Amino acid sequence: MPSDNPLAGHVALVTGAGRGIGRATALRLASLGASVLCVARSRDELESCVAEAGPKAAALPLDITAPDAAQTLIETALTRFGKLDILVLSSGAFHSGTLENLTDTDFGKLFDVNVRAPLSIIRAALPALRDSKGQIAVVNSTIIRAASTAGRGLYAATQAALRSLTDTLRSEINQDGIRVLSVMPGTTATPRQEAIHAAAGKPWHPERLLQPEDVAIALCGALLLPETAEATDIFVRPMMKS
């Protein structure tokens, strides 16, 4: 019989847990019984997430791009909960604009938050994940197979880099019993997407988009597979076509 709390005794760390997909995933993991360390910069948003997640959740307000952030995250999880079973990376930023108008600063900042910092966190987590035969879930984007990325080229490049690194990582660490998942959501009704719609002057109809909870359900469903199975890539898209 399936258990009501299949993740009881498991410890998860979720970046981007303040809002959007990361928040929904942190709440879902907590509802499945996991202890969850929730990470983002905005203290208020994290505290709201933790209050909803319940007593087994904790907040760590931190900029993942700061020096030593990766080490701090993992040390905090281990000190607070004693181990780490699940690492979910759902933090990050978006950039719009043509490649011609791109600055080196834009380039460096987006690659730092979307690619370098997640990889750094994964690397810092590996010893603990080896001990627990744990799992890594990286929230990527369906933009990696979009027909046109005009005006979104820098963001698309970070997601393609992240996917490539995730694939390499899987083939390097599966042998240690660690499973690696990439989740590719389509347009999801999060604060980020609302801001993108506003900037483009597009009407905002969140009910027609994927919901953050939909993505969280797909992601957590994959994490619940038996240890003999690994979901590698999940594409999730809105049912309603715009």
Ligand X SMILES: NC(=O)c1ccc[n+]([C@@H]2O[C@H](COP(=O)([O-])OP(=O)(O)OC[C@H]3O[C@@H](n4cnc5c(N)ncnc54)[C@H](OP(=O)(O)O)[C@@H]3O)[C@@H](O)[C@H]2O)c1
57-61 and 86-89 beta bridge pairing = unpaired
Residue with the shortest CB distance to ligand X: 20
| Residue 194: how many other CB atoms lie within 10 Å | 14
Q: Please list, in sequence order, all residues whose beta carbon lies within 8 angstroms of the beta carbon of residue 235, skipping any fewer than 6 positions away.
A: 142, 145, 184, 186
User: To the nearest whole angstrom, how small is the minimum distance from the Cβ of residue 63 to ligand X?
Assistant: 4
User: Cβ 3 to ligand X, closest distance in Å?
Assistant: 28
Using DSSP, state whether 208 is helix, strand or coil: helix
Q: Which two tokens stand for residue 139?
A: 């929230």
The C-alpha atoms of residue 94 and residue 92 are separated, in whole angstroms, by 7
Helix, strand or coil for residue 185?
Answer: strand
Taking the least distance from each CB to ligand X, the nearer of 92 and 134 is: 92
Nearer CB in complex with ligand X: 8/199: 199
Smallest separation (angstroms) from ligand X to the CB of 13: 12
The residue among 9 and 191 lying less far from ligand X, judged by its C-beta, is 191
Q: Point out which residues pair with 35 in neighbouring strands.
A: 11
Minimal distance in Å, beta carbon 167 to ligand X? Answer: 17
* Whole-angstrom distance, CA of residue 177 vs CA of residue 84: 14
Q: Which CB atom, from 47 or from 131, has the smaller least distance to ligand X?
A: 47
Q: What's the closest the beta carbon of residue 15 comes to ligand X, in angstroms? A: 6
* Shortest Cβ 79–ligand X spacing (Å): 19
**Residue tagged 């469903």 (tokens):** 221
Binding residues for ligand X (CB under 6 A): 15-16, 18-22, 40-42, 45, 63-65, 90-93, 113, 139, 141, 185, 187-188, 190-193
Nearer to ligand X, 44 or 176 (CB): 44
Count the neighbouring beta carbons within 10 Å of the beta carbon of residue 130.
13
Strand partners, 210: 188
CB within 8 Å of 168: residues ≥ 6 apart: none
- CB-wise, 135 or 190, nearer to ligand X? 190
